[in-house]
Structures are given as structure tokens and as C-alpha cells.
Amino acid sequence: MHLLELIDDIDIDTVKISDKNRAGGIEIVGLTADSRKVQAGYLFAAFPGAKLDGRKFIGEALEKGAVAILAPEGTVFPVSTAITLEAPKPRSCFSRMAAAFYGRQMNVIAAVTGTNGKSSTVDFCRQIWQSMEYSAACMGTLGVSASVGINRQCNLTSPEPVTLYSEIALLKAAGVTHLALEASSVGLDQFRLDGLRVTVAAFTNLTRDHLDYHGTMEAYLEAKLSLFKNVMMEGGIAVINSGISCFGVVSDICKERGIRVIDFGEKAKDICLIKHSVLPDGQLIEFTLFGERHKIKLLLIGSFQAFNALCALGIVLAEDPENKLKQKQAVHALEGLKSVRGRLEFAVNHPNGAPVYVDFAHTPDGLETMLKSLRPHTPGRLHVVFGCGGDRDSGKRSMMGEIAVRLADDVIVTDDNPRTEDAAFVRSEIMKSALGATEIAERREAIRAAVHRLKPDDVLVIAGKGHEQGQVIGTEVLPFDDVSEVRAAVSEVSE
């Protein structure tokens, strides 16, 4: 693809091109923001970052054959024959270039933002669509999963642009027509989704997270709002939790852009959760859908999963909200929903019958919501093993310690991806407010100890890592899976 074709969807007046006449004849065979991946004929995007400045690697990229360099305004380029492009928002420009390069996108793309619930919601969308015989896929923290037999892990909630748009092109080529993906605040802040043709945007909830990156809740919210302000297409539909504090703000943004809002929640007018009752293996929920009352059984533990399911219902119906047949099909599909990896995932039963769950809860709100959801399912004592990540928002540690001892009967504080921070110090910050909790540094030993404490009618949840397959200690990622570890611990009890 020629260079000027890549920027056809970008306001050309905002991009300074070193030689516009020659740029029209430059063939681009690939794009990357990683100088190690540059090959002859590539465009290299050089961004300043928190740890590394990509502009320092422009020379290396040129030596490897880069024919074009994209960088921020004011960048000093080495003397070369490569075309240089300076942009006020180079990350946005790069995303749009990647979207143009890979080209293929499906007609229905739903992007889901929010602090919690994104992974479950996008997977529920995939499950509902598939039950309605659409070729569907979801993408996010858990990787890529599609009805066409594609299942791949990926490392980020919102992948970098080349990975994102190349995956979408592959899914489209494989026949996928409906895609739901997670839109993280970091990914939105870095403009990774700027080339995405989002037809439906959803907002699950808003609580504290990623303040190590954004700095303030105001900046965190602003990043999420950009999905509705800048990313989603005109004429799209927004699906918003009516109970979030910023509901009015998001609704006003949508109104200004002519975007229809479908709300869901306990105070919603479109998809209103009226009642939910706890069952041994799930919950019974009653809700209205555009005024019509429904009562169904969800095979999902936790009231928060009812909200995720209703959000997914709104997303699926956004394509044709008034279609009664599709409403009936989608509602029926809710009863067959299966929980996703690491989201209150049932791991094993103790020999005495006590169930053990694994959950991704790693924020104050996530931990509180999860523990409150498990309490009605716990005739005996509720046990929790959790920790907090190193090199991340330290302000949430004491909050999570207080929540754990207030809502659980037995608490073990352990390590959870200490990274380069002192693990003992991270635990000490949790323990300050976790009065009565037990501190066990090694996560494997903490899980074993918790399993040995279980009595009949008790419930244990291992929180914080969920689906993750590694423990980050220093700069190493050591193999570690909470589900495997707790099953091994239970097998020891059984012997």
C-alpha cells in the first residue's frame, strides 16, 4: 500500500510530510512501533513513552530499511532518504494507518469499557451471538476467541494497533461478522482504537483503577469517555449502566453526537433488573426488556454477572433493537451463558464439599463486589486469599485490606505480581488495615493454608490473578496458575 493511501483517512493538513510528491510513490509493506521488528519497506512509528523514547531508535530503524518514519511534531530526524511524517497526535495517526493497512473490519463491532466486567461482557456477547447463529468473536484480556475455531492468548486488554487490526482482519477473513472487544482506559488514552469502526460502545461501571497510569480519577474517566466522544461511529448505539455516577455525562456526549442510548441496571428504562434471587448453582433474575417482563435462570454466580449479562444483551440487540424475534432469541441465550476463565471460576470442591473459586478481582470495588456476591452462597465461613500488585496504584492496598476483613471471615494476604517492588512492603501496606488477617508471603503456600482451613459449608476464593498464567517477580514471569495450584492443594488433602 502506498504511503499516502495510509493517511487518506487522516486530516492531511495536520501531518507534516517531508516530501509529499515523493510520498505518493513510496510503497509500505509493513508498520511497527518496535524498532526490533523493522524490515525493508516498513514505516516505523517513534513514540516517546514512560520508559523508552522511540525516537532514539529512528537511526536503527533506518539502518534496517525503514522507508518512512512517523514521529511527534518537532522531532529531529537523521539525514536519510526516508519520508518523515510529523503529527500532533502520532499515536492516533499510527492507529488509523494500521487500520487502513489491514483494511478488513466487520460491520458489527462492539467496544466495551469500564473498570470491571469487560472480559465477561464481551465473551457473553460472543456466546449470545453464536446461539443466534452469527459467526462471532471476542477479544480482550483473555485473548481472542471465535466461533470459527480461533483461540489465541494476547498480553494486553487493548492490543497495540498492528496486533489489533491484523487480528481483526484475520477474523474477518475467517468469516466473523460480529466482534466484541474490550476497550481499556490505557488503550483509549494511547489512541489504539482510533481506526476502529465501532458501531456499539458500552460502559459497564466506574471505580478506582489504573491511577498509577492516569494519576487522577478525572483523567481515568476522560480516557474512557473518549470511546464515546471520538472512537464510536456517528449513528451508533451506546449501552450504558444507568447506575454509574457518570451516566449523565456519557448520555450528554451521545446526545450531542446523535447516538442512541440503551440503558441497563436497576433504575434503567430499557433493560431494568427488577429482582434477582440466589440459587445453589446460579441466580434467578427478573427484568424488563423495552417494557416486556422476563424471568430467567442464570448459571452464573454473583449479582454483578447479572449486570454483565444484561449489558451483553443490550449490545447484541443494538444492531436491531425493535426486532422481537431477536429479542426472544437473545433472552433465551442468557440461560445458557457460561462463566469465563478466572471470573468467579469454579475450580474444585474440597473433599468435605466446600467449593473453591478463582477470581480476577484486583481493585477495591472488584473485591467488594465479588465477596458480597459469594456471601449468599456461603452457609459457613467465607475465606479469601489475595494480594496487590507491585509497581501499581499503591493507594488501593489499604482499601482492599479493609474490605477483605470486613466482608470475609478468614483472610490470607499474600503476594500478587510484586514485580520490582519489595513484596514484603506491598503486603505490609495491605496488612495495616487488614486487622486479624494472616500474612503468608509465598502464594502457593497461602493457597495450601487456606485449603487446609476449609470446613464443610465454607467457601474459598483465590482473588487477584484469575486467568493469569504467571507470577511476575522482579522482571521475570514465573509459571503460576491459581486454578492448578488450588487443585493441587486439594489433591494433597484427598490423599
Residues 437-479: pLDDT tens digits? 999 999 999 999 999 999 999 999 999 999 999 999 999 999 9
Query: What is the predicted pLDDT for the residue at 219?
Result: 93
The cell numbers describing 111, all together, are 467496544
Rg over alpha carbons for the chain, rounded to the nearest Å, is 24
Q: Would the CA dihedral through 94, 98, 101, 106 be positive or negative?
A: negative
Which DSSP letter does residue 27 get?
B
Tell me the C-alpha to C-alpha distance, in Å, between residue 307 and each of 118, 147, 239, 241, 329: 11, 24, 12, 8, 19
Provide mean pLDDT across the span 193-218: 90
The cell numbers describing 409, all together, are 471471615
Could you tell me which residues come within 8 angstroms of residue 428 by beta carbon, excluding any fewer than 6 positions away?
A: none
Measured in residues, the chain has a length of 495
Percent of the chain with pLDDT over 70: 99
Query: What is the predicted pLDDT for the residue at 144?
Result: 94
| Integer Cα distance of 14 and 20 in angstroms | 13
* One-letter identity of residue 405: V
Query: What is the predicted pLDDT for the residue at 372?
Result: 95
User: How many CB atoms are closer than 10 A to CB 277?
Assistant: 11
Provide mean pLDDT across the span 134-140: 96
State the span(s) of the chain assigned CATH 3.40.1190.10.
103-334
Architecture of the CATH domain 103-334: 3-Layer(aba) Sandwich (3.40)
pLDDT at 155 over 70: no
| Integer Cα distance of 282 and 350 in angstroms | 19
Instruction: List pLDDT tens digits, range 398-430.
Output: 999 999 999 999 999 999 999 999 999 999 999
Q: Is 262 helix (H, G, I), strand (E, B) or coil?
A: strand
Could you tell me which residues come within 8 angstroms of residue 13 by beta carbon, excluding any fewer than 6 positions away?
A: none
Query: What is the predicted pLDDT for the residue at 495?
Result: 62
Q: Of 314, 315, 280, 309, which is closest to residue 296 (Cα–Cα)?
A: 309
Q: Is 62 helix (H, G, I), strand (E, B) or coil?
A: helix
Q: What percent of the chain is helix, strand and coil (3-state, nearest 5)?
A: 35, 25, 40
Q: Of 95, 136, 139, which is closest to residue 118 (Cα–Cα)?
A: 139
Q: Of 321, 264, 310, which is closest to residue 285 (Cα–Cα)?
A: 310
Provide mean pLDDT across the span 43-65: 94
Place of cell 451516566: 247
Q: Is 272 helix (H, G, I), strand (E, B) or coil?
A: strand
pLDDT at 68 over 70: yes
Tell how many helices (H) and how many strands (E) occur in the chain.
Answer: 17, 24
Instruction: List pLDDT tens digits, range 182-199.
Output: 999 999 999 999 999 999
Instruction: List pLDDT tens digits, range 339-366.
Output: 998 889 999 999 999 999 999 999 998 9
State the span(s) of the chain assigned CATH 3.90.190.20.
345-494
pLDDT at 266 over 80: yes
pLDDT at 286 over 90: yes
- Domain 3-89: which CATH number of 3.40.1390.10, 3.40.50.300, 3.90.1150.10, 3.40.1010.10: 3.40.1390.10
**Highest CATH level, class, for 345-494:** alpha beta
| Integer Cα distance of 140 and 110 in angstroms | 12
Q: Are 333 and 131 in contact (CB under 8 A)?
A: yes
Query: What is the predicted pLDDT for the residue at 231?
Result: 95
Place of cell 466484541: 180
Query: What is the predicted pLDDT for the residue at 170?
Result: 95
State the span(s) of the chain assigned CATH 3.40.1390.10.
3-89
Q: Would the CA dihedral through 131, 132, 134, 136 be positive or negative?
A: negative
